[in-house]
Amino acid sequence: MSFLKRVLSTIVGLIIFSILSFIVFFMFIAFLGSQGEEPIIVENNSVLNLKLDFNIEDHIGKKEYENYTFLNEYPKHSLFGMIRAIEFAKTDPQIKGITIENNFTFAGYAQLKALRDALIDFKDSGKFVVAYSDIFTQQSYYLSSAADTLYVNPSGTIEFKGLASEQYYFKDFQEKTGLKMEVVRHGKYKSAVEPFLENNMSEANREQIKSYLNSIWSTIKTDISKSRSIPPETLHTIADSLLGRTPTLALENKLVDKVGYYDEFTNGIKHQIGLKTEDKLPSIDIRDYSEYTYSKQKSSYKTDKIAVIFAEGEIIYGEGDENFVGQGIINNALIKAREDDKIKAIVLRVNSPGGSALTSELIWREIELTKKVKPVVVSMGNYAASGGYYIASNADYIVAEPMTVTGSIGVFGVLPNGTKLFEKWGISTHQVMTNSNAITYSFSKPLSENQRKFIKEGIIDVYDLFLIRVAEGRGMTKDDINTIAQGRVWTGSEAIDIGLVDELGGLDTALKKASELADIDDYATKEFPIFKKDFRESLSQLGLMKTKEELLREELGEDGYKVWKEIKTQTQREGVQLLFPYGTYIE
């Protein structure tokens, strides 16, 4: 038996060694291959192709792999990397125009507006922008409507129907499973926890959702109206009656300029730049061009710099990563920027629905210390709500996109409770205590009135501090903030009227203001944070291992995965939260 064990252990060892050797060999070959990659070349008479069939992120960030530095990544096709590339293309003699080829666009409306504004600015150069799609989703149509000419496939459709929001409710789910969420909230509109308490949407929640949807829809109609010369009222009627549902209707109602096939689209571009039909149309993808133009921009060598720190994702307590905002990476970035003498100002780009109250306060404090040394300006993305607004409120100046979702100044606490679940499974628990409050909370017992009272006190304290922080940051009274708080959600366009933001615009507007406050004219930007990666993630990205989330996406599909992720995220939250109800999806 002992001999057999040794044989088996040897075989297992050889298998593991072989697998590891293969992985190392594969990584080594990949590394050697990357060293021999050909440089990106932009041919003469090229068009810049915006086929945005990938997730658009404000900041992709540099990824550093400990002990595997050859795997380090620094992708340049973030939202602002692409915007900088479009700006560069204005004066690039090799680029004759831009093509937009979109069936589906994975971006929020604030991000799309930033890209759209860049395209409109690009057209000032006299170069063309032409769009084609088989199926225009509403998001892709909004972006593409900035083009000079829009093509749609003869068998295609245009989705132009207005905005809708859908929220999942879990009250009955809790009853059926026995897993209940104990909720304590403060704020009339704090609807992030409403799905655990009701089966139907409250009137207060319906009111705020309708308000911010109408605000976003108004901006969409206004922008399309300017580009397509269609009155906003007419656009509203087109959406109500779905008058873009067929190519013929879309053409009749001026949503598109031409109904044609892809080859007709490309031939039209060839003709425009003086090529023959049989000639190849030189084209470069926006991701490659973002990489190409980054090396051409010499701004990084300028002495004065402005740090751009990206806070993107839900706010959690801890280090944080590219998906979550933690006090670790954000405060470390603020400290580095504060202590760097070459950095004269800081722009904090907030794209977050909020989260942990404690983490928001820790980041707030670091911003407070930083403001004493150099100016801090906030640029808001798709979301800067609840905890996202908490950290933004302490800036010297706040810039938001018109379609940014912000505010949501309210607080809630949520704790998972499995009392009924344990009863169904036949599990019982018994407690022994030296003091009446020795057990603050138990998963197996419902909250007592005393426990609920203490939690409520904590919620009210956090809400009160939230009001104070915002009032101090915005130069308003606590009572003034309370009237526009209560968890109410606002868009950037609405927020400027009630004093929650200072100016409407994008990152460029925030950088301009930061340079003014720092009294500098010529500067470069330096982006933070840098993300540390581990070996497992490197294997996943090389395709040698799939993450649990990737497997679930494949098995459940996108809609099923969305529901699973929402349930998982909701049940994982504990403690006091400053969070926008981002389970409310805008479609």
> Is residue 190 annotated as a catalytic residue, yes or no?
yes
User: How far apart (Å, rounded) are the C-alpha atoms in residues 583 and 354?
Assistant: 13
Place of tokens 């344990």: 422
φ, ψ of residue 532 in degrees (nearest 5) = -90, 135
Which spans in 475-587 are helix H? 478-484, 492-497, 507-518, 535-541, 548-572
Compute the residue count for the chain.
Answer: 587
Of 582, 573, 581, residue with least CA distance to 183: 573
User: How far apart (Å, rounded) are the C-alpha atoms in residues 144 and 196?
Assistant: 39
User: How far apart (Å, rounded) are the C-alpha atoms in residues 390 and 466?
Assistant: 7
What is the maximal distance between C-alpha atoms in the chain? 89
Strands 283-285 and 128-136: unpaired
Cβ neighbourhood burial of 62 (10 Å; 0-12, 13-18, 19+): middle
The one-character DSSP state at 499 is T
DSSP 408-449: ---EEEEEEE-HHHHHHHT-------SSTTS-S--TTSPPPH
Residues 373 and 334 sit within 8 Å (Cβ to Cβ):
no
Query: In which element (H, E) is residue 48 found?
Result: strand 46-50
User: How far apart (Å, rounded) are the C-alpha atoms in residues 332 and 265?
Assistant: 49
Catalytic residue among 96, 190, 221, 533: 190
Residues 144 and 136 sit within 8 Å (Cβ to Cβ):
yes
Residues 403 and 586 sit within 8 Å (Cβ to Cβ):
no
Of 356, 391, 580, 375, residue with least CA distance to 470: 391
Residues 292 and 284 sit within 8 Å (Cβ to Cβ):
yes
| DSSP-derived 3-state class of residue 324 | strand
Q: For residue 580, what are the contacts with CB-CB under 8 A and spacing of at least 6?
A: 192, 353, 354, 383, 385, 386, 388, 405, 408, 489
Q: Where are the beta strands (DSSP E) in 274-374?
A: 283-285, 305-312, 314-316, 324-326, 343-352, 354-356
Sheet with 354-356: list strands edge to edge.
180-186, 411-417, 575-579, 354-356, 314-316, 324-326
Catalytic residue among 133, 145, 191, 386: 386
> Is residue 144 annotated as a catalytic residue, yes or no?
no
Query: In which element (H, E) is residue 490 found?
Result: strand 489-491
Give me the active site residues, please: 190, 386
